Structure 1
Amino acid sequence: MGIKSCSVAYVLSFISLTFLAQAANEKGLGASFIFGDSLVDAGNNNYLPTLSKANIRPNGIDFKASSGNPTGRYTNGRTIGDIVGEELGQPNFAVPFLSPNSTGKAILYGVNYASGGGGILNATGRIFVNRLGMDIQIDYFNITRKQFDKLLGRSKAKEYISKNSIFSITVGSNDFLNNYLLPVLSIGARISQSPDAFIDDMIRHLRDQLTRLYQLDARKFVIGNVGPIGCIPYQKTINQVTQDQCVDLPNKLAIQYNGRLKDLLAELNDNLPGSTFIYANVYELVLELISNYDKYGFSTATRACCGNGGQFAGIIPCGPTSSLCSDRSAHVFWDPYHPSEAANLILAKKLLDGDKRYISPINLRQLRDI
């Protein structure tokens, strides 16, 4: 190919990317950047040598985009991040950062950095050998950020990321489940660190992480708090509580952290000009679903649809040898840790269009349009 035809191809490519960005701007859409843990991992852990993987059947059995094949999502279908992106008008799911196709114009729809086992603190999830913690996820976003400059040019890239893109962070559960509360690894930490000190550590790290994203031109943020982790089938099974009980300590830790998180987001809204930090009250949302599961069309909020061990099938993660329920849409929980797609749909709709009890100061549809 000659120099002239190379130049023409480059110009045409640049024009098409610019047009794509402008179309997104006109519709109030841009990229969806997703950070966090296995609740929103879309396949990053497939590319890591890790003990935490979901790219095995029957995970993904209801994920239409893959014809029911596992993708690395820790549920039977779509994650909350997938559903929110679709509802806000994005034509493609945010591509996992570690996937070979996370290049070129695919990243204009968004990138997913989330990793099963990841947490706010770097020590979190080390039981899995490998995972991407929040610090590494933001390092990876920094790489994406530079790619946007090359794709769109510096000023258009900055506008696209700051005005038309949403940054969603779903993290914190593993810092308790696979760090502070993990008997083998955390006994030393728990002797030396009170819950207050541990949560202080989490908040300090998260403040730095969110500030780093702001410095990379992120402006629209939604941060999920930690859900009622004492009510997941795994915790209920290992602690041998009854069907109607949740485990007290994990829920108390979540509530304590959530109060501090709410204060942190108010502080960042005040101190980082032009930013909007939204607090997603996942704790209350999931608790509502668990407490009134029958009202939402579920038959159980205690037993995992896919899993083995104990009365709630809550010990061994979902895999080919797991028992599998016959009606997946009737279970709040897909496996010992994660909601089913049916539950994710309800949770996502409340975040998109819900009131201040569940998402504040505005909901996700309003955030997209500011």
Structure 2
Amino acid sequence: MARLISVLLFLFMLQLCSMTVLSLIEAPDSASFVFGDSLVDAGNNNYLQTLSKADIPPNGIDFTASGGQPTGRFTNGRTIADIVGEQLGQPSFALPFLAPNTTGTAILNGVNYASGGGGILNGTGQIFINRIGMEVQVDFFNTTRKQLDEILGESKAKEFLMKKSIFSVTIGSNDFLNNYLFPLISATVRLNQSPESFIDEMINTLKTQLTRLYTLDARKFVVGNVGPLGCIPYQKSINRVSPNECVTLANQLAMQYNTQLRTMLADLNKNLPGARFLLANVYDLVLELITNYNSYGFSTASVACCGNGGQYAGIIPCGPTSSMCDDRSAHVFWDPYHPSEAANLVIAKYLVNGSTKYISPINLLQLKAL
């Protein structure tokens, strides 16, 4: 009997100590949970057997935190998500979910689930062999959600997610570039699906995943629309348009999708109590940079800084043997697909503290304050 009482007392004390430790852990005032594709991938693809990788130089050459070494980010420096996190006061960048050090209290700064080549639809990006689509990214967040309960306790974890965390979603470009518009795939896809049907599928699938995040206690969202795909060096190179032209079909598809995305987010705001969904108007933001690049201090909005092939160095991705521009801050585009850090800085500024032209119905500073 005495032995049983001792065991029970030990277990009680152990539970009490565990509860005390939980009560001492304080969540930060701001955290980012990042979902998306290569525009915001912070290195998840480093841990995949995939053709979509940015873990080779000169990628990351201007990323101060790594001393200029590649981190898996598809740009020369910080991504938009990195910069937004900094400007919202986060003490460190959200770590890639697949990184081995993304454990314990490190996840309280947020976690990055984005994956180069990933899309809204599960079939998108299959040309890269491996990539993490939106559905699996939300599955990964479900794992993080359980870890937060263990670290903070259920009540504090729920409050942390609902009030202090911003969920950013930057996805959709690959569903066009590496699915509907990709030369080896598009013929079959377009034969079976009209643009309207394809975009409907994208919207309905994304709505399902955003709603899943809501059921896991996400409340503050910023969702980026698809940028002017017809204006990136890759599309301009393969379609051989002039420097001041963009590819019409790619931009038309993006605009069709963006119109439906705006309606869908308004619907979620109306029907999910307590949720705030912001629309980041990336299309008009990037188009503004491309159209008026001189006024932002850029010398070109057509030619990739790092790449090869075609008039705009837009066919072969950036790598160790690529040609690279002398002044990286003078290029809107780092490589055939992705903005430079200088462009990301401009875009992030508008999203954090800009007007409803580029972020609506409120900006990210206002969202954080709610």
Q: TM-score, normalised by structure 1?
A: 0.95
> Residues 30-89 of structure 1: CA distance to partner in whole angstroms, max 9, x if unpaired?
320000000000000000000000000000000000000000000000000000000000
Residue 354 of structure 2 is matched in structure 1 by 354
Residue 206 of structure 2 is matched in structure 1 by 206
For residue 8 of structure 1, report the CA deviation from its aligned partner.
Answer: 9.3
Matched, 1:264 2:264: yes
Distance 2:95 2:16 in 1: 29
User: Is the 8 Å Cα contact of residues 298 and 330 (structure 2) preserved in structure 1?
Assistant: yes
Distance 2:250 2:87 in 1: 32
Residue 173 of structure 1 is matched in structure 2 by 173
User: Is the 8 Å Cα contact of residues 30 and 161 (structure 1) preserved in structure 2?
Assistant: no
Residue 22 of structure 2 is matched in structure 1 by 14
Q: What is the identity, as a one-letter code, of the residue corresponding to 1:306?
A: C
Q: What is the identity, as a one-letter code, of the residue corresponding to 1:214?
A: Y
Residue 56 of structure 2 is matched in structure 1 by 56
For residue 10 of structure 1, report the CA deviation from its aligned partner.
Answer: 5.1
For residue 192 of structure 1, report the CA deviation from its aligned partner.
Answer: 1.5
| 1:11–1:158 Cα change, 3 Å | closer
Matched position secondary structure for 1:190: helix
Q: May I ask how many residue pairs the two structures share in their alignment?
A: 360
For residue 12 of structure 1, report the CA deviation from its aligned partner.
Answer: 6.7
Distance 2:285 2:291 in 1: 10
For residue 166 of structure 1, report the CA deviation from its aligned partner.
Answer: 0.2
Residue 186 of structure 1 is matched in structure 2 by 186
Distance 2:36 2:209 in 1: 12
Residue 100 of structure 2 is matched in structure 1 by 100
Distance 1:344 1:335 in 2: 13
For residue 7 of structure 1, report the CA deviation from its aligned partner.
Answer: 7.8
Distance 2:16 2:108 in 1: 22
Q: What is the identity, as a one-letter code, of the residue corresponding to 1:341?
A: E
Matched position secondary structure for 2:339: coil
| 1:190–1:157 Cα change, 3 Å | same
Matched, 1:303 2:303: yes
Q: What is the identity, as a one-letter code, of the residue corresponding to 1:228?
A: P
Distance 2:241 2:214 in 1: 43
Residue 114 of structure 1 is matched in structure 2 by 114
Root-mean-square deviation (CA, aligned residues, Å) is: 1.4
For residue 183 of structure 1, report the CA deviation from its aligned partner.
Answer: 1.8
Residue 278 of structure 2 is matched in structure 1 by 278
| Structure with greater Cα Rg | 2
Residue 6 of structure 2 is matched in structure 1 by none
Q: What is the identity, as a one-letter code, of the residue corresponding to 1:172?
A: G
> Residues 15-36 of structure 1: CA distance to partner in whole angstroms, max 9, x if unpaired?
442xx21xx3xxxx33200000
For residue 149 of structure 1, report the CA deviation from its aligned partner.
Answer: 0.4
For residue 14 of structure 1, report the CA deviation from its aligned partner.
Answer: 3.0
Distance 1:63 1:154 in 2: 36
> Residues 107-166 of structure 1: CA distance to partner in whole angstroms, max 9, x if unpaired?
000000000000000000000000000000000000000000000010110010011100
Q: TM-score, normalised by structure 2?
A: 0.95
Distance 2:247 2:157 in 1: 46
User: Is the 8 Å Cα contact of residues 120 and 202 (structure 1) preserved in structure 2?
Assistant: yes
Matched position secondary structure for 2:162: helix
Q: Which runs of 5+ in 1 are unaligned?
A: none
Residue 329 of structure 1 is matched in structure 2 by 329
Distance 2:138 2:155 in 1: 21
Distance 2:192 2:144 in 1: 39
Distance 1:49 1:6 in 2: 42
Distance 1:217 1:363 in 2: 21
Distance 1:275 1:12 in 2: 32
Distance 2:178 2:365 in 1: 33
For residue 13 of structure 1, report the CA deviation from its aligned partner.
Answer: 4.5
Question: Which segments of structure 1 move beyond 2 Å, counting only runs of 4 or more?
Answer: 3-16
Residue 288 of structure 1 is matched in structure 2 by 288
Q: Which runs of 5+ in 2 are unaligned?
A: 1-9
Residue 245 of structure 2 is matched in structure 1 by 245
